[in-house]
Amino acid sequence: MWAEVRGLRDDVDFGTPPRSGAPVTLTIDGVEVTVPAGSSVMLAAAEARRAVPKLCATDMVEAFGSCRVCLVEIEGRRGFPASCTTLVEPGMVVRTESPRLQQLRSGVMELYLSDFPAGELPDGWSEFHETVRRIGVTTHGYGAGATHHDLPVDASNPYFLFDPAKCIVCSRCVRACEEVQGTFALTIDGRGFDSKVAASQDEPFFDSECVSCGACVQACPSHALVEKSLFDGGYVRAESPEA
């Protein structure tokens, strides 16, 4: 139970919480790696310095398996399992890069891009931005459909803001609020296109049960939840050419 908190490292995001089980050895992209039983393939890949791209996973909360970016190929298994929710097994042979994986990940990223303010892509440095760059997707073929770009920014909290336009609904914030902080102030409200992060009964953050611990801000991969102190002249959302 201590590995989950004590095994964390500052310079790496294992993607899923460290575990303390008996050693298990597997091969990832030809690199042999040994990790405790109960670890995810994603964690093993990070340990082997073959980190898999990911969006909904981070090592301070349990795996969720929703973003479909961390897919891998495993010998002897059909399909493309999510590396975050697949546990390591002895002798497992994993491949993290292949033309087919690249194609699948690009497809997923294009979907994300279709609803992300394009004006904010070039100079961003969030995990989402880095992932977009790593997968090498710059455009999407979805045209100008409905987006979340017109939703208002919630700047009610003095310290951080929530910009739904940049939210990829990975629920990392919701899980951090539950698992790390233990306050359960956040939920994903609605379904499908309408699903969005909501504080308490869809109240402004300041009026909600939120205790402003910042775990959600830290967990957010896309700067949808972000510290106001990082903006010198206040926050203005870049205009999206597609909005």
Partner 1 sequence: MPNPRKPERSVVTTCAYCGVGCGFKADVAGDRIVRMTPWKEGKANHGHACIKGRFAFDYHSHPDRVRTPMIRASIDDAWTPVTWDEAIGHAAREFRRIQGKYGRSSIGGVSSSRCTNEEIFLVQKLVRAVFGNNNIDNCARICHSPTQFGLSATIGWGAASQHFDSVLQADVILVVGANPTEGHPVFGSLMKRRVREGATLLVIDPRRTETVDSAHCRATVHLPLRPGTNVAVLDSIAHVVVRERLYDEAFIRARCEWHEFEGWAALVGDDRYAPEVIGPEAGIDPEAIRTAARLYAKGPNSAIYYGLGVTEHSQGSTGVMCLGNLALACGMLGREGVGVNPLRGQGNVQGGSCLGSWPHVFSGYRFVTDADVRATFEADWGVTLDPEPGLRLPNMFDAALTGHYRGMYIMGEDPVHSDPNQHHIVEAMRRMECVVVQDLFLNETSKYAHVFLPGSSSLEKDGTFTNAERRVSRVRKVMEPLAGYQDWEIVVKLMNAMGYDRTYAHAGEVLDELARLSPAYKGLSFALLDRVGSAQWPVDESAPEGTPVLHREKFPRANGRGTFMLTEYVATRERVTDQYPLLLTTGRILTQYNVGTQTRRTPNSRWHPEDILDIHREDAEARGIKDGDWVSVASRFGTTKLRARLSERVNPGVVYTTFHHVQSKVNSLTTDISDWATNCPEYKVTAVDVARLVTPAVREAEAAAGATA
Please list the residues that pair with 225 across neighbouring strands: 162
Site for partner 1 in 118-157 (CB under 8 A): 119-120, 123-125
The alpha-carbon radius of gyration of the chain (Å, integer) is 18
Site for partner 1 in 99-118 (CB under 8 A): 117
> Is residue 232 involved in binding partner 1 (CB under 8 A)?
yes
* Helical packing angle, 127-135 and 99-113, nearest 10°: 130
**CB-nearer residue toward partner 1: 73 or 127:** 127
> Is residue 204 involved in binding partner 1 (CB under 8 A)?
no
> Is residue 238 involved in binding partner 1 (CB under 8 A)?
yes
- Full DSSP string of 80-134: --BTTTPBP-TT-EEE---HHHHHHHHHHHHHHHTTS-GGGSTT--SHHHHHHHH
> Is residue 182 involved in binding partner 1 (CB under 8 A)?
yes
Using CA atoms of 171, 176, 178, 182 in order, give the dihedral in degrees to the nearest 10: -160
> Is residue 5 involved in binding partner 1 (CB under 8 A)?
yes
**CB-nearer residue toward partner 1: 10 or 32:** 10
- In the Cβ-directed half-sphere of 18, how many Cα atoms lie within 13 Å? 16
Name the minimum Å distance from CB 222 to partner 1. 11
Please list the residues that pair with 198 across neighbouring strands: 187
> Is residue 203 involved in binding partner 1 (CB under 8 A)?
no
Residues that bind partner 1 (CB under 8 A): 1-2, 5-6, 8-10, 60, 117, 119-120, 123-125, 158-160, 179-184, 206, 209, 211-215, 218, 223, 226-227, 229-238
